[in-house]
Chains A and B, each alone.
Chain A
């Protein structure tokens, strides 16, 4: 959305109006402007989102008796999950069956994954009584706040409510503008440099590396994956910086989504630094419940990463991406546990600590083999790229 000039103009005008409104009108204004902006792109799909968002708020509000409240919680989770499932996964599932209903023309609603996960978080936390007191308009502004609507972070409602400033502050505005500037530089300068390198490593155009894989040196393939990682990091974290900065201009604290993942010393730590809002969502609502039921951290890790993969897209590539990361985290957990138990000295050596950073970087860069081939190339292409890193052709 940030590529549209009217995003910036409407953000600037909205900031001025927002801070000149009485306190009680600030959030109605923010919610209505945000909703109107999003609705101007896809009015029909956003109308459906509005219906679901209203249902989530008002049904829970009305169900004040305990059994009814529990029933409403289950019903709302089912509705939101079914909405996500229908638009995101039905086309892929239907394609598996030759005589299945044709979902080819079904358009994926903008921001559906972020929207659904935010609402599931809201329903669950509200059912646990963990949310602060709030008005309908605060909820509405949180659901549709433009900067985080299409590309996150998956903002927690309690943080949205608790971290905000109610008065204009020059320092806050400066922080916001600086953050936007950093985001723009990351996305359009550093990201563009990564893209330039990627294109030259890719022999100038999309897919050529894949066509010439057998003649490409493993080093070139590894470099290609490393720059894929760097490009996505710059592009995605730059967008998050712009969202956080814009939020600050409205006095809001948007969650951090990245914390220098390229400097992670291990894969477990990396997942505390990369797409943090998705990772923490999965930790709260997939990892912990699965751990409670299965009593196995490995089952919980695999379940969490499977959901994370499928959250991105309904494809075998994203499922494999999830399993690849889950395997990395599970193996790392087992390795450190065994090393501590058996008091292996190697984990305390400088060489181990020194090697851990590039190895983590390379392992995660490898996961981009699955994501860049998602779609037209498929899982086999991802495996060909990964094997080629070791000089093996399959």
Chain B
């Protein structure tokens, strides 16, 4: 086995990274789904 894969801190790092990215992505997708009722007070002008 690879030395790195034995290291528990490596896996802890991977899990934390996965949880953070997963949470951010879930929040982003939920935000996208709610976008039609999203209350934006400002919008970039010129679109």
Question: Hey, which bits of chain A sit against chain B, CB under 8 A?
Answer: 2-3, 111, 113, 150-151, 181, 184-185, 187-189, 192, 195, 198-199, 202, 205-206, 228, 231-232, 235-236, 311-313, 318, 371-372, 374
Contact = CB atoms under 8 A, between A and B. Distances in A.
Contacts, number: 62
Contacts of A151: 44, 47
A236 B44 contact: yes
Given A2-B32, A3-B36, A192-B31, A185 B24 contact: yes
A232 B45 CA distance: 10
Nearest to A231: B42
Contact of A188 (B28, B36, B44): B28
A318 B45 contact: yes
Contacts of B29: 184, 188
Contacts of B43: 235
Given A198-B41, A199-B41, A187 B28 contact: yes
A371 B45 contact: yes
Contacts of A181: 25, 28
Given A189-B24, A189-B27, A195-B40, A184 B32 contact: yes
Contact of A202 (B28, B32, B41): B41
Nearest to A194: B42
A167 to B, nearest CB: 29
A113 B46 contact: yes
Contacts of A199: 41
Contacts of B35: 2-3, 188
Find the residue from B32, B35, B43, B46 having the highest chain A CB count within 10 A: B46
Given A202-B41, A228-B42, A185 B47 contact: no
B46 A311 contact: yes
Contacts of A231: 42
Contacts of B45: 312-313, 318, 371, 374
Given A185-B24, A187-B31, A231-B42, 19 more contacts: A3-B38, A113-B46, A150-B47, A151-B47, A184-B25, A185-B25, A188-B27, A188-B28, A188-B29, A188-B31, A188-B32, A188-B35, A195-B40, A195-B41, A206-B41, A232-B42, A235-B43, A312-B46, A313-B45
Contact of B42 (A111, A311, A313, A372): A372
A194 B24 CA distance: 15
Interface in B7-47: 24-25, 27-32, 35-36, 38, 40-47
A9 to B, nearest CB: 13
B47 to A, nearest CB: 5
